Structure 1
Amino acid sequence: MKALKKSISILMVIAMIVTTITGVNLVNGTKEVSAKESAAYTIKVNLGTNCTTIYNSRGKAIKAMICSPSNETPVGTFYVPVKYRWHEMIGNCYAQYCTRITEGILFHSVWYYKNGDKSTMSVSAYNVMGQKASHGCVRLLCKDAKWIYDHCAVGTKVVTFWGSKKDDPLPRPSFTPISNGKFTDWDPTDPDPANPYRKAAPKISADTTKVEYGKKVRPLDLVTIKDSAGNVLTKKNATIKVKGKINTKKIGKYKVKFTVKDSIGNTKSKTITFSVVDTKKPVITGAKSKKNIAMGTSENLKKGVTAKMKSGKRLTSKIQTYVKYNNRSVKAKNGTYRFTKAGTYKVTYKVRGTNKLVASKTVTYKVVDKRVKFALNTSAVTIKQGEAFDPYSYVKTLKNYKNADLNVKNNITIKGDVDTSVPGTYTITYTATYNKKSYTAKTATLKVTVEKAEEETTQPETPGETTPEETTTAAE
């Protein structure tokens, strides 16, 4: 038994010597890298903001990294004792580019299901980067874990503390999760040339190539840019340049070039042609309803009415007008229409735009009978030859359409003469108006018959005839 114990002790000493010489940990099988102490960099981990900052030897912050520590991450000042290319983690999983902070606490990549197999990274663990998610270690994106592994030697000072954003001299970088639906995948930031993400350029696609005239838009708002992991890229998580402008106040075509560089350095350029179009109906203005149109008048329905596209192209000359009365619609030639009856009319204006869309607007015209109220006492009269004739004396009533009395002689004109010295039949035409407006006119006729006057006759006296005298007898 003593000999056995002595043999085991000798083997452990040999293992320690081999480990020191070769850097290979014979206990867990991982390669352990030990470097000379270095004060070239200082690492500070803000547990309050989940941000790791690298400072150079002059104390200047040169690099910020998003990280996932936990509430169990110890607070204090530590010095890197050792580093591992791959290392087994809690729960039968593995991480790469591991730099020890203190006992049981490491900087490391997101964990993998298989040791050395970079395609088995846990996507769910990757997607919570920037949150408290570890068991105490400080998880990093692969590129950042590698940077610390490559640049920060054993002996590098590490400070962990709880702070706020004001304690971070550099803003925490943004993070783009993997959204391709995979359970395991490569870390998109892994600089390994075999990483499929490094070979897949971002995709730039237009959400629409048509832009409405007059709409305020930015070219970047018209496209969707995604990295190879299916994440939407914006200026917050990628470098995007836009060359070209879209003048939405002028119909036409505009070319815009988009250039994007994602978080792992893949680039893509694409030129897209956008068209500024007017898809709105034309606008008709000036069409108004009217309430007091005189029956018998003609109206220029297009007077004061204009039409144009939203883009400004004038369409007034293309306006067509339609008039509807008693369910019958007619087209007004040249926009002019004569209202022959009293009542309510619907006037519709229509115009077709350059985009084939038709605009219409309907207004109401109320037509009023404004003719005077005019009547004669009779339609025929007989007078004697030589008798005086006054045509105005036969007017029974004369009023305007509002029922106000009118002066007969001032508002009636008479056509035709009656010669009372000559027997015969005459026709007198009366035309009554109000304010000399033709649409108020009413006419009436009077038939006048002049009868020949009768001649007076006298009997002549008979010659020799005398009136018998009374015989008187004298008294004796």
Structure 2
Amino acid sequence: MKYVKVAVIILFILSVGIFAAGMEKERRAEDPTKPVLTSDREILEISTSYEEADLLQGLTAQDGKDGELTSEILVGEFSQFVEKGVSNLSYVVFDSSNQAATLTRKVKFTDYESPRLTLTEPLVFPAGKTENAMEFIGASDMIDASLSALVKQTESTIDYKNVGDYYIHVEVTNSFGDVEEQQLPVHVIEASHQALEIQLSSSLVYLKQGEAFDPNSYVEALNDTYGEALDPALVQAESNVNTGQPGCYEVHYQATSEKGQIGETWLTVIVRG
């Protein structure tokens, strides 16, 4: 009886295999051609503000049975950058018999720039107060938009209890594998040096190598302890920014009122080559 059961199982498996092979042969007999997917260019050049229709430029798909299939092309996933601003992108199209054709080509983002770090406030803190510089550091990207949740601290020398000049090293990576990392300066100052509030239009700016830079143009307002506006001309700027050399720089702003109140802050400047 045991042998009969084994024989029945074997016959069943063989019959299923024969049936499947027959169906495949029949399908191929009905549609012996596979679709063909082609591109009229090796590299597609687009803006980082692209729409999906832009990704389909220069593509055509044909099938011996179904004819024109260009409108059926599906866009796959971008690879990480094979070089800065250049990624591989895959495509696929199916005919009515569910046979597939695939193609991969390079896509170049013509206006691409690496991710940028951002600061919601200058990294300036009064000594003795509990602070966390990472709460003020974010990042943005031309393709991925906000990367703030992905910013990582890799090193820090900050001592929030003692007056001094410190740094925090941070990095962020976008979905294409491009990394931005900087050693940002941090300043812990006497609380009395925040009696005047120097308001800047930005806490961190990026400049291109060789770009003109005027530190005074970033001063927006100067207020005293009670919020009363003072003359912004009281603010003096001391800059070590060299736009001819890529790097991370600072501008130190200081002001003293007629009553002897003091205010100071810093602007972080990153020059890219």
Settle same-fold status: TM greater than 0.5: no
- TM-score with structure 2 setting the length: 0.35
TM-score calculated relative to the size of structure 1: 0.22
Higher relative contact order (CA 8 A, sep 6+): 2
Bigger CA radius of gyration: 1
Query: Which structure's residues are more often strand, by fraction?
Result: 2
